[in-house]
Amino acid sequence: MTLTRTFHAMGTVTSLRLRRDDIHDRELDTVESIFRQYDDIFSLYQPTSELSRIADGSLRLPDSSQLLRENYAEAIDWRNTTAGTFSPHRPDGVIDLSGTIKAKAMSDARDQLTLISPTGWLLNAGGDILTSQNTEEPWRIGIVDPHDRTELLCTIRLKPTWSAVATSGTAERGEHIWRHNPESEFAQVTILAADILTADVLATSILSGGKQQLDHATHHHPIDALTVDRNGTILATPALRVHLSEAHSSEGARSRA
């Protein structure tokens, strides 16, 4: 009863899961093509992409497409919202929109998926998750243990206000995040939100900005957070803590029965 499609894009793998089997493959092609379109414009790995041409100086920013400039402006807004702990610039000054583009593609894919199937879909792009808001049975999401990536830290049953889950960490790609605060203590940051762009950007900003940015973000945005620091200490926002504790005790009761 489940349909799964996986494809490579943006340097990672995206998997799409539908709780039905009456969808034609061609319909899912449209979802895949959204990721390719973003890649063609914004990838710094493709030397011919529009953003690569801005980086190498052959295209001036004012001459770039409206889509590119809008995405750049949006990323700048996020930089300002996060006190610079998220940035659309590499340390060498090159415009790098990889921090927002995957989430933007996922958001566009959501619109397409909602047309295909209003309920029962889940999109996982390289470890960041976006789901249909309406689902008969809640999706169960495992959060990877950053200190042993073959294990899960916990399981979260998603609610409509948590239809997006983004995790940033240092485990897979090494220290690829430009740390705003060198004393930042987090090894992994997971954010649950209603939209994937908010979740993704804030996860990155908290990993970079540390506890100070965690407090700021959880206060100013309707999100929940689960963080693991380098010593293994786990922090959770109150709603998530209650949710996890309840899930734990009910699972425990079930396994004892």
Partner 1 sequence: MRKRAIAVSIVSSGAVIIAGWNIGTHAQTAQTTEAAPVPPPTRVAAPPAPTQTVIPQPKTSAPASAPPSIPAQPAPAAPAAPAPSNTFTGSSVSTPYGNVQVKVTVDAGKITDVTPLHLTDDGGRSVQISNRAAPILQQEILAAQSANVDSVSGATYTSDGYLKSLQSALDQAGR
Task: Give me the residues that bind partner 1 (CB under 8 A), please.
Answer: 2, 4, 6, 8, 11-13, 15, 17, 83-84, 122, 124, 126-129, 139-144, 146, 149-150, 152-155, 165-173, 188, 190, 211-216, 218-220, 225-227, 232-239, 241, 244-245, 247-248, 251-252, 254-255
Least distance in Å: CB of 185 to partner 1?
A: 11
Least distance in Å: CB of 37 to partner 1?
A: 19
DSSP state of 60: -
Give the pairing type, strands 186-193 and 164-169. Answer: antiparallel
Checking phi first, is residue 81 left (phi over 0); if not, alpha (psi -120 to 50) or beta?
A: alpha
User: 148: part of which helix (H) or strand (E)?
Assistant: strand 148-157
CB proximity list for 29: less than 8 A, separation 6 or greater: none
Query: 77-97 burial, b if ≥16 CB within 10 A, otherwise e?
Result: ebbebbeebbbbeeeeeebbb
For partner 1, the closer CB: 47 or 84 = 84
Give the pairing type, strands 128-131 and 3-9. Answer: unpaired
For partner 1, the closer CB: 54 or 187 = 187
For partner 1, the closer CB: 34 or 123 = 123
Least distance in Å: CB of 251 to partner 1?
A: 4
3-state secondary structure (DSSP) of residue 204: helix
Least distance in Å: CB of 195 to partner 1?
A: 15
For partner 1, the closer CB: 194 or 239 = 239
For partner 1, the closer CB: 113 or 225 = 225
Q: State both tokens at 237.
A: 């926002």
For partner 1, the closer CB: 50 or 145 = 145
Sign of the alpha-carbon torsion through 112, 116, 121, 124: negative
Backbone torsions φ then ψ of 81, nearest 5 degrees: -65, -30
Least distance in Å: CB of 44 to partner 1?
A: 15
Least distance in Å: CB of 56 to partner 1?
A: 24
